[in-house]
Amino acid sequence: MPAATRLIPANSPLSPEAAAALDLFLCTEAPGFNLSRQRLCREREFARLYALPDAALHGMGLNRGELPRWLFRDLFGWRSGASLPA
């Protein structure tokens, strides 16, 4: 039996890898909440940041694993003591 695949809309700016990273964050940080509207509003920015090389993210004070939390920092907070990239 083939492995289940996640279907993302054809007009989504996210790659399958980026969509999976964002899904994992939302499932673990906000189980039971419907954040679909919030997600749709932020997908383009997440795709733009996710496509940057690691060195560029590092220059912004981020790493790839922190992108979902940074993008949803107004809802879930940000690491204390960390500066927010402009």
List, for residues 16-74, the tens digit of each pLDDT value. 888 888 888 888 887 766 677 788 888 889 999 999 999 999 999 999 988 988 988 88
Residue 3's pLDDT is 43
List, for residues 9-18, the tens digit of each pLDDT value. 556 788 888 8
Which of these, 65, 64, 75, lies nearest to 42 by C-alpha position? 75
Q: Is 73 exposed, middle or buried (0-12, 13-18, 19+ CB in 10 A)?
A: middle
Residue 57's pLDDT is 94
Residue 37's pLDDT is 78
Please give the structure tokens belonging to residue 66. 């922190």
Sign of CA dihedral 76, 77, 82, 84: positive
Which of these, 24, 34, 30, lies nearest to 67 by C-alpha position? 24
